[in-house]
Structure 1
Amino acid sequence: MSTVCSPEAEALTRELGFDCHDVNPVVSFRFPWDLTNWTMPLLELLIIGGAVLALVHAVRRYREGDPVNLALWCASLVYLFVTEPPLYFPEWFGLDELYGFIFAHNQFTVQFMWDRLPLYIVAFYPVISQLAYELVRSLGIFRHRGPLAGSVAVAFACQVFYEVFDHIGPQLKWWAWNMDNRIVNHPAMASVPMNSMLLFASVSMGAMTYLVVRLARGRLLALRILLAGVLTPPTMAIAGIPSSLFSGNATAQAWVLGIELALLWVVGAWIVIAHSAGTREPLSAFVRFYPAAYLAGMAVFWISALPDYLAADDGVTSDGTPIGNGLYALACFIGAGLLLAALYRTELARRKAPATA
C-alpha cells in the first residue's frame, strides 16, 4: 500500500473515477474535455480567471498606497500551504488518528501533490478572500466601522459566497468527503460537514482578514504576510472548541455549530444593514463585475444539477453522488445577492445624481 494512497483514499478516489496509486507526485496535466463532466473546466476558468483579476486589482491598489489587498492575496496562499498538506496526508504529520482521512479532490486540468491539489483550489483561496474583502471594503465598513466589524462582515460574505460552491461540489464530483470519518466530517448538513461550513468557509477568512488588516501596514511586509497566514489556522482551532466539548455526540455538536452559523448570519447581516446608509468607497472594476460573475457561474452549475438533485433518493442521485442542502444554498444565493444589491445601490445613485442636479 502506497504511503500516499491509504485504503480510505483509495476507496474515495475510485468513487470519483480514478486510482490514487496511478498519479504523478509533482504535477499532472489533462485536457479539459477529458474531465469527469463539463462543469469542471468552466469552474477552473471561473476561479483561476478570478484569481488573476484579483491579483491585478491587488497590485493596482498596492501601487496606489494600500498594501492590504496584495497582502491578503498572498496570505491566502500561505494559509493554503499550511492547511492543505495535513488534510491530504494526515499520516505524514501524525494526525491520522486525530483527524483521519477527510476528503479527496477529483482530477482537474492541472493537479499537484499526487493529484490531491487542483490548481483551481490554489486559486480559490485568494479568490474568495479577495472577493469578500473587496466587497466589504467597498461598502465602507472597514473605513467607518473598523477592522473587527469589517472582518466579521467578511466572514459573513465568505459564508454566503462559499457555500453556494460547497453544497454543489460533491454532487458534481468536484470532490468527495469521507463520510466514514466520524471525527471531522460529522455532523453534516446534507453532504457538507458543518465544521467545514463554519471553520473553513467563515472563521478562517474572517480571522485572516483581521490579521492582514492589522499587520499589513509597516516595514517587512513579506514577514507580516507570512505571520498572518501562519496564525490563521490556530483561530480555527479556537473557534472549534465549543463543538469539541460535545465530541462523540453528533446531535449536540450540530446544535452548537448551527447556533454559531446563525450568529454569524445575524451579526454579519446586522453590520451590513447598520451601515447601509453609510459612506461607500468607489467601486473597482474587480468588485463591480467579478462577484456577480462568480454568483452567475454558480447559478448555472446549480441549474444544470437541479434535475438530478430533485430526483435524488435519500440524499443520493442516480449517479451515486450525494447532494448538498438546496435550501441553505438558496439562502446563501439570496444573501450574496443582497450584498451585491447593497454594493450597486450607491453606484446607481451616484450615476443618477448629475441628471437630477
Structure 2
Amino acid sequence: MADHCAPTFDRLATALGFSCEEAGGPVEVRNPFALENWTLPVLEFTIVLGAVLALIYAIVRLRRHGDPTNLVLWFGATAYLFIIEPPLYFPAAFGIDAHVDTMFAHNLFTVEFLWGRLPLYIIAIYPFMATLAFELVRILGVFRHYGVLAGSVCVGFVHHAFYEIFDHLGPQLRWWEWSVENPINQPMFDSVPLPSVVVFAALWPMSLAFCVQLFVGRHVDQGRILSGGQLVGRTIVIGILASLGTAVLPIPATVFGMGSTTVRGALYAAELVVLSIAAVVILTRQWLRLRRGDSDAAPYTNDFVRIYGVVYLGVMALLWATALPDFFAAVDGVTSEGDPIGNLWYTLACFVVAVLCLVAVFTVPRRKAPPSVAPPAPEATASSTV
C-alpha cells in the first residue's frame, strides 16, 4: 500500500529490487523459485525449520519432563519480536517518526507479513537463535553452577557468535538493506551497524535469557511447578522486560556516546569485549569441570540443539562459500552488483566460537535421559513466585 511507503523504505526497497507497491497486504505468499536469488529460500527454509523443531522440542520437554523453560523461551522471544519490530517498520504509525527513521528493509521472501516488512523467517529466527544459544549454555550447566547473570552473559556471547555469521552475509546476498545514513545505525562495522552487532546479536539475547531463567528456569531447577496461568503471565512479562533490557544494557554507549560517533562506537565495542571475556572464562571453566567428571555434570542433553546447530553452521558455511568470489572481487567494500560486503575475519572468528561451543556440548559427560522435574513440596509450590 502506498500509505505504508515511507521515503526511506521506498529507497531501500528499490535498492533490493522491488517497490513498496509490490509488497501488498498483511500476509503475502510468493513463489520461492522467483525470489531475488536462490540463497533466500535456502535461508528461509533453514531458519523456519529450526524454529519449528525448537517449538516441538519445547512441547515434548514440557509433556515428558514437566519443564516449561524452553516453551517460555520460545514464546518470550516471539513476544519480544512483536514488541520491538513493528515500531521499527512503521515509525510514523507509532508516532516516533520525528526521532526514528526507517533503519533497514528486508527483501521479499516466500512468506511475508505487514506489507513486505516482516518475512516469516525473521519471526522464526528470534525463537530459533534464542533456543540454540540458551540450550548450549544450559547443557553445560552454567546456570546451575554460576547463576542467572553469568549464564545470561554466556547466552549473549554464544548467540552473538551464531548470529554474526548470518549478519555479515545478509547485505551482500540482498537479504536486507541497511539505511547507512541513519544516525542510529552509526558507526558501521563494514556492512553491519555496530549497534546491531552489539545490541541485537548479544545484549537482547542476554536480556531475554536473564528474564527466562529468573522467572521460570531457576524455579524449574529447584523442582517447583508453575501453573498454566503463571507461565502465560510470566511469558508476557519476559517479553516486556527483555525489551526494556535491550534499552537499558547499551546505555553507556547510547547516552555517553550521544555527541560522538567515535565515542559511541568505542563504548559499544567495550561492552562487547567485557561480555566476551567474561563468557569465555565462564564457559571454559565449566567445560573443564564437566570434563573432569565433577558431580554436577550436565543435567541433560538436547539432541536437537546439538544436531541442528551443526546443520545451521553447515548451511551458513555453504552460503558464505558461494559468496566468496564476489566478496574477494569487491572494490572499496562493494561488489560489482553494488552490494556491501561484511567482515570476513570477524565472521571466521564467530565460526570458530560457534564450532567450539558445539564441540563442548558434544564432549561433556551425558546422561541417558533428561531428569523430570521433581514433584514440589507444598511449601515450594506456595513460594513459586519471583
- CA shift, 1:327, in A, is 1.0
List per-residue Cα deviations over 1:68-115 (Å, max 9, x = no partner).
Answer: 100000111100100110111111112222221100000000000001
* Misfit runs of 4+, over 4 Å: none
List per-residue Cα deviations over 1:158-181 (Å, max 9, x = no partner).
Answer: 000000000000000000001111
The reply on whether 1:110 has 2:128 as its aligned counterpart is: no
Distance in 1, matches of 2:209 and 2:300, equals: 20
Alignment partner, residue 49 of structure 2 = 49
The reply on whether 1:239 has 2:249 as its aligned counterpart is: yes
Alignment partner, residue 239 of structure 2 = 229
SS of the residue corresponding to residue 176 of structure 1 reads: strand
Distance in 2, matches of 1:187 and 1:199, equals: 13
Amino acid at match of 2:344: G
Distance in 2, matches of 1:226 and 1:248, equals: 35
Amino acid at match of 2:97: D
Percent identity, please.
45
SS of the residue corresponding to residue 314 of structure 1 reads: coil
Amino acid at match of 1:292: V
Alignment partner, residue 313 of structure 2 = 295
- CA shift, 1:254, in A, is 1.2
Amino acid at match of 1:329: T
Distance in 2, matches of 1:108 and 1:232, equals: 28
Segments of 5+ residues of structure 2 without an aligned counterpart are 220-225, 291-296, 369-386
Aligned counterpart for 1:268 among listed residues 267, 279, 290 = 279
The reply on whether 1:205 has 2:215 as its aligned counterpart is: no
- CA shift, 1:304, in A, is 0.7
- CA shift, 1:3, in A, is 3.1
Distance in 2, matches of 1:196 and 1:95, equals: 20
- Which is further off, 283-292 or 155-164? 283-292
Describe how 1:24-43 pairs up with structure 2 within 5 A.
24-43=24-43
Alignment partner, residue 326 of structure 1 = 344
Amino acid at match of 1:338: L
- CA shift, 1:343, in A, is 1.1
Alignment partner, residue 94 of structure 2 = 93
Do the aligned residues in 1 keep the contact of 2:51 with 2:124 (CA within 8 Å)? Answer: yes
- Which is further off, 207-216 or 168-177? 207-216
Distance in 1, matches of 2:109 and 2:133, equals: 25
The two structures, once aligned, show a CA RMSD in angstroms of: 1.5
SS of the residue corresponding to residue 185 of structure 2 reads: coil
- CA shift, 1:280, in A, is 1.9
Distance in 1, matches of 2:9 and 2:187, equals: 21
Do the aligned residues in 1 keep the contact of 2:299 with 2:367 (CA within 8 Å)? Answer: no
Aligned counterpart for 1:307 among listed residues 325, 333, 336 = 325
Aligned length in residues: 349
Amino acid at match of 1:319: E
SS of the residue corresponding to residue 90 of structure 1 reads: coil
SS of the residue corresponding to residue 333 of structure 2 reads: coil
List per-residue Cα deviations over 1:13-65 (Å, max 9, x = no partner).
Answer: 00001001232221111111101111111111110100111011111111211
SS of the residue corresponding to residue 313 of structure 1 reads: coil
List per-residue Cα deviations over 1:101-145 (Å, max 9, x = no partner).
Answer: 100000000000001000011100000000011111111112222
Alignment partner, residue 186 of structure 1 = 186
- CA shift, 1:350, in A, is 8.2
Alignment partner, residue 4 of structure 1 = 4
- CA shift, 1:281, in A, is 3.3
Do the aligned residues in 1 keep the contact of 2:104 with 2:176 (CA within 8 Å)? Answer: yes
Distance in 1, matches of 2:277 and 2:270, equals: 10
Alignment partner, residue 141 of structure 1 = 142
Do the aligned residues in 1 keep the contact of 2:30 with 2:111 (CA within 8 Å)? Answer: yes
Distance in 2, matches of 1:53 and 1:284, equals: 12
Segments of 5+ residues of structure 1 without an aligned counterpart are 352-357
Do the aligned residues in 1 keep the contact of 2:301 with 2:367 (CA within 8 Å)? Answer: no
TM-score, normalised with respect to structure 1: 0.95
List per-residue Cα deviations over 1:247-296 (Å, max 9, x = no partner).
Answer: 24111111111111111211111110111123223322212201111111
